[in-house]
Structure 1
Amino acid sequence: MKSLNIYIVEDEPLIVSTIEVALRKQGFYAIGDAEDYDTALRDIELLKPDLTLVDIQLSGDKDGVDLAEALDKKRLPYLFLSSQTDPNTIERVKHTNPLGYIVKPFTETGLRTNIELAWHNYQDSKQHFLTIKHEGRLHRINQNTISYLKAYDNYCYIVTNAETYLVPHTLKHISEQLEGNDFIKAHRSYVVNLKHISSIDKNTIFLGDDSIPVSASQKSLVVSKLKSI
């Protein structure tokens, strides 16, 4: 899995340092920390971490459950990391949507395992499927497997890892059915999945064994988006 950028919300400096060391040793990046609700929410919106570790006991009037409720509204992923397991706290936690609950004290291996499982489940939940008709049959295609789309008059080729489909819809119509921000127009006749790009040169995008053109007007945008994922 990729090296996640993780933000820590914890009011004990010594524990923050322990978590940061554990994360680095396990191949993750600790990109910031806060001990209170307001600072955490501001930083998370600014730094855009992949995942946030949230302690329940925080400085100030609002605690980690309040922060979790705010993150739920923004649909941002987080894990509780706390020693609080009392019934009242657990009851409040039940009304939030964390990816998991890590009980302190924790081991480095346990921390990594919980983070990896939580991230895997989160990625699975984000998968989207495109339903198309090809050669008389309905196909349900996982968007993650689509490398690029290619216009062909009023038709469109959908090129995946395993197969190429020709559908009776325009490039614009098919691209509008796609969810998320992974797809971008690279050329007037091509829409590419950023996650499948292996390299780019002056006027060509390479996706494994395939190559497609990139227009001069779109190249800088493609490169910028590629750097952000």
Structure 2
Amino acid sequence: MANILVVDDELGIRDLLSEILNDEGHSVDLAENATQARAARAGNSYDLVLLDIWMPDTDGVSLLKEWATAGVLTMPVIMMSGHATIDTAVEATRIGAFSFLEKPITLQKLLKAVEQGLARNAAHQAAPVAAVAAPAAAPADPTFSQLPAVSAVMAGVDPGPHAHQGFDLDRPLREARDGFEKAYFEFHLAREGGSMTRVAEKTGLERTHLYRKLRQLGVDLGRGKRG
């Protein structure tokens, strides 16, 4: 079990993230702005922080910079936003953010990012000397794939049109994402013979969340079943 701080000015997002993380066995504290986040960080030690960028009092990037400057950025911080640019993501990474999640946050991406962040924190706790020697602004596994072509841009590579063969990039982002996710789940359903248990294990989703996601995407649950 890990101690996690969720900082977001939207009540619905705080409640949703808290519910998911509690279901995973973690202890969760909530803050609706930078002022509450500062107080929580001052009084507690966290294994991970989920930090929204756009907040009414102080934005998340500025708060991240405060913690880095004060020497209290001792835990992985996952930035969250629905309107961030590549420049914002890059700046947050340079300051010391571990990764970035684009809203609306999918369950699979959330749990994967949290798992990677906690693994990073555990590695630092086990090897404090190595952690001190490592550059603070060099995340081990930055997950910037949620922003269009960020991974390629940061690597200095032109992704080009052939990197997205098979997907209609003229569609709105939400429709394109839903199309990919539907194809993804249909593939796993077919490969696992329609077994929801095995698909849940392969995709890292709980069965309840998996059923809900499949219904939302309009996936035919009987399509992959063997005769």
Aligned AA for 2:34? Y
The answer for the alignment partner of 2:27 in structure 1 is 29
Q: 1:56 aligns with which of 53, 57, 75?
A: 53
Return the offset for 1:47. 2.4
The answer for the alignment partner of 1:69 in structure 2 is 65
Asked if the contact 2:93–2:99 (Cα under 8 Å) also holds between the matched residues in 1, the reply is no
Q: CA 1:23 to 1:129, structure 2 compared with 1: closer, same or farther past 3 Å?
A: closer
Q: CA 1:37 to 1:121, structure 2 compared with 1: closer, same or farther past 3 Å?
A: same
The answer for the alignment partner of 2:124 in structure 1 is 125
Aligned mates of 1:74, 1:6 — CA distance in 2: 15
| Deviation string, structure 1 residues 81-101 (Cα, Å, up to 9, x no partner) | 222331342243243111211
Asked if the contact 1:11–1:35 (Cα under 8 Å) also holds between the matched residues in 2, the reply is yes
Aligned mates of 2:86, 2:20 — CA distance in 1: 29
Of structures 1 and 2, the larger Rg is shown by 1
More strand by share: 1
Q: CA 1:76 to 1:129, structure 2 compared with 1: closer, same or farther past 3 Å?
A: closer
Return the offset for 1:109. 2.8
Aligned AA for 2:67? L
Q: How does 1:183-222 map to 2 (within 5 A)?
A: none
Q: CA 1:19 to 1:80, structure 2 compared with 1: closer, same or farther past 3 Å?
A: same
- How many correspondences in the alignment? 126
Asked if the contact 1:35–1:59 (Cα under 8 Å) also holds between the matched residues in 2, the reply is no
| Deviation string, structure 1 residues 92-149 (Cα, Å, up to 9, x no partner) | 324311121122212223212111111112322344389xxxxxxxxxxxxxxxxxxx
Question: Could you tell me the TM-score, scaled by structure 1's length?
Answer: 0.50
Question: Could you tell me the TM-score, scaled by structure 2's length?
Answer: 0.50
Higher RCO (CA 8 Å, separation ≥ 6 residues): 2
Residue 18 of structure 1 aligns to a residue in which SS? Answer: helix
**Percent identity at matched positions?**
21
Q: CA RMSD in A?
A: 2.1
Q: How does 1:1-229 map to 2 (within 5 A)?
A: 3-30=1-28, 32-60=29-57, 62-72=58-68, 73-77=71-75, 78-128=77-127
Q: CA 1:26 to 1:109, structure 2 compared with 1: closer, same or farther past 3 Å?
A: farther
Aligned AA for 1:13? L
Aligned mates of 1:49, 1:124 — CA distance in 2: 15
Aligned mates of 2:55, 2:60 — CA distance in 1: 6
Aligned mates of 1:27, 1:110 — CA distance in 2: 17
